[in-house]
Structure 1
Amino acid sequence: MLQFDEETARVLEDAYQGADVSQRRRASFDALAPLPGDRILDLGCGNGLLTLELARAVGPAGHVTGLDASPDMLAAARNRLAGRANTTLAEGDAARLPFEPESFTKAVSLQVFEYLNDRRPALSALHNVLQPGGRLVAGDMHWGTLAWHSDNTRRMERMLEAWNRHMAVRDLPAKLPAELRSCGFEMQRMHPVAVCDTALRPDGLAAMMIQLIRAFAVDIGATDPDDAAAWAQEQQELAAEGRFFLSLTHFVCTARRQ
């Protein structure tokens, strides 16, 4: 488990509300198309940013339930949602949802399924708690689309190979449609959301990834702190020289419960 210092926590909070991550969240919001009165499950709600946006959209006649496995994330979400009577937060596992059958009209997950070795138990659980015809929106990265410039390509490959170990599957969007169909969903749309940065913005996805990858690679013993620091420093130098480049595609999958 990574331990974040105050500076890293600040970078993450800025990035969560920055343009890159916000556009991914907005793409899921738009695909879900929340309406007044909807009852929505936010699976893997994290710090509650999407939960709050959905709660505003469904209004007092609707309800949004956020579920996450992390007590720390849920604590942050509770602070964010304080005073929102149309929200509920719960700690739990995606494969064992603690809700009655057909409890929700819609469900959304943002970067959850790529961390599951077997998605079918979670998809079956979602099928159970959604009403017939209910909409499911799942947003995940296809890490095979990552292009990241470095003058030291071997070191970059080493850092990214380490990062690959933090997820269960790198190409989830390619696998998800078939898995959805096998669990009783009708696949409707796959929408790409590309991030392409030629500047290292303080609130951008790249700045967040540099902090996370640097810490994770050291934490798992894939490299030493000096090597990881040199990798991060190179990205700062490339940015100062106008040679920074990162591109990565997030995919938003929309399906209907049959």
Structure 2
Amino acid sequence: MTDPFELHEGESPLIVSFPHVGTELGEFVEGMTAAAPVLADTDWHLPRLYDFTAEMGATRLIARYSRYVIDLNRDPSGASLYPGQNVTELCPTSTFAEEPLYLPGRAPDAAEVERRVNLIWKPYHETLKAQIARVVARHGHALLWDAHSIRSRVPRFFEGRLPDFNLGTNLGATCGHERERRVAAAAEAAEGYSAVLNGRFKGGYITRRYGHAASPVESFQLELAQCTYMDESQPFAYDPALAAKVQPVIRRLIEAFVAS
């Protein structure tokens, strides 16, 4: 089995988590439908888009397995982060377009879900916790940025077109007010882009679990509309021209986040 993540340790207080960029299905593809290998709901190309964070001395944790195998940004108990809204499971059984991911009778049962938690989910989170502890020990604090992207139109989850920058702090619970204000202001000032703070996406499990306002660890989630840097239809190609425009904006957001 492939290692469940790629880790690059940095020396700054910044940690960037990429829980949904994985494209491997591995042994878990057995029993899946033809929709699974398309990997349509991947957070495509984010490590490339965020390559500047290496220059910033960030620690980067990059998932290798697809969210279709297990979702690293979900509560392992299965509890919903958005009660009353349509969401996918810890081990998803359908795509965002509500196509089945498994052949009849082949969806993972409770024992298989637990196995995937132990093989993939726990190692990712144990490593993230260890890196947070390392950074706090070195700097006295850690700043966790959870990097995500999504197609700009996904009727299952929201109506119409999503704003370009969807910032989440769980209504201010995961990040201090001044830091939150700086990031939101940088997003709102980005010419040609739209932004919202704590809109449809308020921060997933990782943001909520590890970040707390007025604590040594603060966190922020960015759910980026994919139309800002790539082709949203197959083959989901990276668009260098679009990316070159949005990348400096993302950098300004992160610089606002890490500023003292």
TM-score by length of 2: 0.28
Structure with greater proportional helix content: 1
TM-score normalized by the length of structure 1: 0.28
- For CA contacts below 8 A with separation 6 or more, give which structure has more relative contact order: 1
Give the structure with the higher percent strand.
Answer: 1
